[in-house]
Amino acid sequence: MGNKTTFAHTHIRLLFIHFMQEKILIIGATGQIGTELFVTLQKKFGTDNVIGSDIRTPNNPVFETGIFETLDILDTEKLDEIVTKYQITQVYLLAALLSATAEKRPEFAWRLNMDSLFNVLNLARDKKIRQVFWPSSIAVFGPNSPKENTPQDTVMQPTTVYGISKLAGEQWCQYYHKTYGVDVRSIRYPGLIGYKSEPGGGTTDYAVDIFHKAKANEDYTCFLDKDRGLPMMYMPDAIRATIELMNAPADNIRIRTSYNLGGISFTPSEIYNEIKKHYTDFKIKYEIDFRDEIAQSWPSSIKDNKAQRDWNWKMEFDLPTMVKDMLKHIKTHP
């Protein structure tokens, strides 16, 4: 009798695990966030259950282990084919043009950033996938938003193509959730800083470039004003936030546009001074370009009390601990 019960329990548990097994597709996987997310999700769900995809062929060794598919997210037939082939349950949609690149190709940026989202949301609406992660950005705010401690809900009048696409995308996420019950979740990432992958054309890229220069014992020329404060976050915190949000019970997710995440707020001169504590000969000069105007339109610090309330968000890295860890791990450019 005891053995029979144990057998039945085991059988039910295995069936449960089978049905709960996530099959994850990352779109835009070879980018700054995708590369790190790919590795972390592989560790959590198993190498065979995470499918990386991108329009680019990967050149980072992390993609040598696991499954990778070449995909242009605007190709809906190929997207459908991959979702069916691997029985995908979750999609992390990371393909986009970022703020600085988008200003150079505004119409294409709008098309890529919006159509990619529709293509994935429609899969969820049609019940072909169960859950979607799509990142928004601090770029949804504009010059009329409060600059310091910017709250979740406030004036949002972005002045960049990128910001306009992110704000529109947030509203579509909420619409698909309310109208079709789509489980789509989102974070307004601050500028992200990591050492495992390169940033892809954003205004906050300076905060990664500066580490490469310091490590190579070269001077750094910064394209932002020395006092331009921006919210930033260390990649391990950002990846953890993403996975914690995706794992939170659906009932806790009260915001279906996108959650503010605060991160660490600093200026170029503040991060320079922190790096200089480790590299005392390190020098910086400033040659401001169009990206400073973009940065000027964004908040310098963000209030994330709603993320704390709904899914217990807590950041770990501050400026000194992030700088120390970056300098320990970052490799110089070849």
Smallest distance, ligand NAD to C-beta of residue 331, A: 18
CB atoms within 10 A of CB 13: 10
d(CA 316, CA 236): 9
Residue numbers 132-171 binding ligand SER by CB under 6 A: 137, 139, 162
Q: Which is nearer to ligand NAD, 162 or 283 (CB)?
A: 162
d(CA 17, CA 205): 40
Which of the choices ligand NAD, ligand SER, none does residue 54 contact, using the CB cut-off of 5 to 8 A by kind? Answer: ligand NAD
Q: Which is nearer to ligand NAD, 135 or 299 (CB)?
A: 135
Q: Which is nearer to ligand NAD, 22 or 72 (CB)?
A: 72
Residue 279 among the catalytic residues: no
For residue 132, give the nearest of 143, 142, 123 by alpha carbon.
Answer: 123
Pairing label, strands 131-133, 90-93:
parallel
Which of the choices ligand NAD, ligand SER, none does residue 117 contact, using the CB cut-off of 5 to 8 A by kind? Answer: none
Does residue 191 belong to the site contacting ligand SER (CB under 6 A)? yes
For residue 133, give the nearest of 28, 56, 59 by alpha carbon.
Answer: 28
Smallest distance, ligand NAD to C-beta of residue 249, A: 24
Smallest distance, ligand NAD to C-beta of residue 53, A: 7
Which residues contact ligand NAD by CB under 6 A? 27-28, 30-34, 54-56, 71-74, 94-96, 98, 112, 135, 137, 189, 191-192, 199-202, 204
Does residue 204 belong to the site contacting ligand SER (CB under 6 A)? yes
At residue 94, what are phi and psi to the nearest 5 degrees?
Answer: -115, -5
Q: Provide the strand spans (E) within 167-304.
A: 183-185, 187-189, 191-193, 220-222, 230-234, 259-260, 264-266, 284-286
Q: How far is residue 237 CA from its own chain's centroid? A: 11
Does residue 203 belong to the site contacting ligand SER (CB under 6 A)? yes
Does residue 258 belong to the site contacting ligand SER (CB under 6 A)? no
Pairing label, strands 90-93, 183-185:
unpaired
Angle, CA 19 vertex, CA 15 and CA 21 arms, to 5°? 115
Size of the site for ligand SER (CB under 6 A): 9
Which residues, in sequence order, are bridge partners of residue 260? 188
Which of the choices ligand NAD, ligand SER, none does residue 96 contact, using the CB cut-off of 5 to 8 A by kind? Answer: ligand NAD
Smallest distance, ligand NAD to C-beta of residue 306, A: 17
d(CA 95, CA 30): 9
State the catalytic residue, choosing from 86, 92, 162, 220.
162
Does residue 242 belong to the site contacting ligand SER (CB under 6 A)? no
Q: Which residues are catalytic?
A: 162
- List of residues contacting ligand SER (CB under 6 A): 98-99, 137, 139, 162, 191, 202-204
